[in-house]
Amino acid sequence: GDSVTQMEGPVTLSEEAFLTINCTYTATGYPSLFWYVQYPGEGLQLLLKATKADDKGSNKGFEATYRKETTSFHLEKGSVQVSDSAVYFCALSDHGGSYIPTFGRGTSLIVHP
Amino acid sequence: EAGVAQSPRYKIIEKRQSVAFWCNPISGHATLYWYQQILGQGPKLLIQFQNNGVVDDSQLPKDRFSAERLKGVDSTLKIQPAKLEDSAVYLCASSLETSPSYEQYFGPGTRLTVT
């Protein structure tokens, strides 16, 4: 079945540091890939998405590129802020497979001033 | 536009009791999802509706969990009887369509504690 693997957290950074959160996936079909973010005390919300290979999703300074050859969708940001502290979830929905949305375990990001 | 509404926000029950959660999706969204999120894990899909029909319920423990979406709008998820391992946050989400490329919009969740 489909699966998503994320790097374990917490990831702790100083403000203005570079961020990478790794995400790899397995899928039977051709998935759409997503990053969702959950800020403290709030519900999950979409951060960015990519629906086909080589697409780059971007939002709020975050980027992720759909890499079919490495089955990866790593999240990056050039300069993090304290307000980026949250839990980040990588997810997929498989067009050719089960259609069941599949989420990773989440990676907690803590940014210190 | 109003977001996905869920109630209650918190619930504490004893094992073997029953509990029900309610969700009202964003107006016009055809697809509704219920997820279970255990502490430290990602959301796990329990059931997915398209209007008032079930698209997938393969991960729903049907001996104790049930869900319905009458009239294709709001939905209820019920657990009867509850077990200790059902302690989790229950998330409701909706999307415009079922297609995998569509974004899901999540409610705030209901935190269930079974003692």
Burial A31-50 (b: 16+ CB within 10 A, else e): bbbbbbbbeeeebbebbbbb
Q: Which conformational region is residue B51 in: left (phi greater than 0), alpha (psi within -120 to 50 degrees), or beta? A: left
Chain A interface disruption, residue of B104, B105, B110, B111, most A CBs within 10 A: B104
pLDDT of residue B98: 77
Task: Quick: pLDDT tens for A22-73.
Answer: 999 999 888 999 999 999 888 899 999 999 999 999 999 999 999 999 999 9
Cis? peptide before B81, omega within 30° of 0: yes
Task: Quick: pLDDT tens for A95-108.
Answer: 765 567 899 999 99
Task: Quick: pLDDT tens for B71-87.
Answer: 889 999 999 999 999 99
Smallest Cα–Cα separation from B97: which of B51, B54, B56, B58?
A: B51
Smallest Cα–Cα separation from A89: which of A58, A29, A49?
A: A49
* DSSP state, residue A97: T
Beta-carbon contacts of B97 under 8 Å, excluding residues fewer than 6 positions away, are B30, B31
The shortest C-alpha distance from B11 to chain A (Å) reads 17
CB atoms within 10 A of CB B19: 19
Q: Taking CB atoms and an 8 Å cut-off, how many pairs form between chains A and B?
A: 63
Nearest by CB to residue B103, choosing from A46, A94, A103, is A46
Contact assignment for A100 to B45 by CB distance below 8 Å = yes
